[in-house]
Amino acid sequence: MNIELTSSAFKEGTRIPRQYTSEGADLSPPLAWSGLPGGTQELAMICDDPDAPSPEPWVHWVIYKIPPTTGLPEGLSKAPKLKEPAGALQGKNSWTSGQTVGYRGPQPPPKSGPHRYFFKLYALDAAVSLGPGASKGALLKAISGHVLAEGQLMGTFEK
């Protein structure tokens, strides 16, 4: 089963607006979804860049323990524990300094061409038993065998 994942800020395959990148305000984009299957207990999302010049895709956002809502507003707090949506937690991104938890938008190296940023949403049949600050790998391990449906939205950005 597939979840339809969209954003009012950009459409599938198009450029992510500057305000959601390191060149702008670095806000998390507004996201909406539909088609959650019955039995969804929680949602989790990962945003990464497979075009980054690194051995693994560069992680821009790990957020989990999202209640089964219909979306996320623009500009979520950068805190590991969120008040809105209630109970949601944020994990580690790939940066090693500065803000290492929560959303950090596109920041591709200059002249590296367009990069693709995949927002992947997972509907889960059980609660994730991870605290704040989990890595992408830890989240993927925790949700293994619990994914009811997935959705994906891809945007691009280039310097």
The pLDDT tens digits of the residues spanning 63-85 come to 999 999 999 999 999 999 999 99
pLDDT, tens only, 23-64: 999 999 999 999 999 999 999 999 999 999 999 999 999 999
The domain spans of the chain are 4-119
Predicted confidence at residue 14, as pLDDT, reads 98
H-helix or E-strand spanning residue 66: strand 58-66
Single pTM value for the model: 0.97
Residue-wise burial string across 54-83, b where 16 or more C-beta atoms lie within 10 A, e elsewhere: eeebbbbbbbbbbeeeebbeeebeeebebe
CATH architecture designation of domain 4-119? Alpha-Beta Complex (3.90)
